[in-house]
A and B are shown apart, each in its own frame.
Chain A
């Protein structure tokens, strides 16, 4: 039986990168850090706060997200949304993701036969 540590490392490797895709998808609807964290977790993308917050800033610097401060509520919050550039990158990422999925399915069926 493989140890928990090894399993955890492989799962982490597999999940790495999906957070970016999930964030770009989720932020088609503008949201702030903590709310995004909740939404991602609810949809099966558990992510650490100390990973997500710096990631949002980095994606913003890369031009994939835009941001806007919302000061209407009692607590001012920074809302992010996926930019046009982010949208086109997201499309490429999703296309690649389904390509991986198809390849994997093909491989599984090929081996099973």
Chain B
């Protein structure tokens, strides 16, 4: 027996369960010899025949998997859809939630804006990797062990809502809403680091009170992120459903009330910034700005709520 066949047998048997190894070895060795004989009888030289026979039998690991009846896939069709659904659901929610939470905690703990955002983003990415790894590992183990998962059977009730053309939310609508939210989120660190007003030394003076980074600004950022998630949910639902309206109004209130309160208690703008801008230094003008801001916040809250509720009623009617 030449070394090529021996090596092929060894490579195959390595991946076959031990108790059956010896018998498979004997049988496979005889079969390979028979196949080689078949070719040499037809006039082929021995070496070529051996190469061709082993090539025909193919990758030893694949052959071994066939002997052992192993599945050559990480997650097969039985579990693939459940895996994908769970993974999408978790990846869409958990990393953002935990990242925002960690960022807020860091800010509350006295970390700078930069460190809070950095820690939040790093944690979010770590959570993405962890979630993807553990979910996939769990399903791969279930697949290997052929565990019955008792997944709920699909029913017609799971069909998505009918969404005839013209009734869904146009993609552009959602994109504009989300872009506005992203710009608003980006504005907060920007006004801190890259404000257009500078002090005598040429350093940027934050527009908003830096003390707010302790808690309020991270909390508001978290609310804005939640608002983005809400916009995505609305796009997928195709319309404002009543639960979505409820969530939207709650988020709007959670945003507007603290902002209004900060305005009323004169804690929103950076005192240093106010001092630096001549026009604002006059107390009466500052009051005008605060009043306009307050009216704008309340008006937008009322307008949004009314418009959304009207939309939701029209769609459900």
Contacts and interface: CB of A to CB of B under 8 A. Distances in A.
B50 to A, nearest CB: 14
B1 to A, nearest CB: 11
A77 B63 contact: no
B161 interface: no
| Chain A interface, DSSP helix/strand/loop, else mixed | helix
Interface in B34-86: 34-35, 38, 56-58, 62-63, 66-67, 69
A34 B38 contact: yes
Interface stretch (B24-32, B163-171, B198-206): B24-32
A69 to B, nearest CB: 8
Contacts of A53: 27-28, 31, 63, 67
A49 B57 contact: yes
A66 to B, nearest CB: 14
Nearest to B38: A34
Bin chain A's interface residue count. Answer: 10 to 19
Interface in B232-279: none
B69 A49 contact: no
Given A49-B57, A57-B24, A32 B66 contact: no
A41 B189 CA distance: 74
Bin chain B's interface residue count. Answer: 10 to 19
Contacts of B31: 32-34, 49, 53
B33 interface: yes
B27 to A, nearest CB: 5
A102 to B, nearest CB: 31
Contact of B30 (A32, A38, A51): A32
A76 B66 contact: no
A36 to B, nearest CB: 10
A75 interface: yes
Contacts of A29: none
B34 A75 contact: yes
B26 A78 contact: yes
Nearest to A61: B69
Contacts of A15: none
Given A34-B35, A49-B57, A54 B67 contact: yes
Nearest to B62: A50
B146 to A, nearest CB: 16
A10 interface: no
A33 B27 contact: yes
A57 B67 contact: yes
B66 A54 contact: yes
Contacts of B27: 33, 53, 57, 78
Given A53-B27, A53-B67, A57-B27, 20 more contacts: A32-B31, A32-B34, A33-B27, A33-B30, A33-B34, A34-B31, A38-B38, A49-B31, A49-B35, A50-B56, A50-B57, A50-B58, A50-B62, A50-B66, A53-B28, A54-B66, A54-B67, A75-B34, A76-B30, A78-B26
Interface of B: 24, 26-28, 30-31, 33-35, 38, 56-58, 62-63, 66-67, 69
Nearest 9 Cβ contacts at the A-B interface: A34-B34, A54-B66, A33-B31, A54-B67, A78-B27, A50-B57, A50-B63, A77-B30, A50-B58
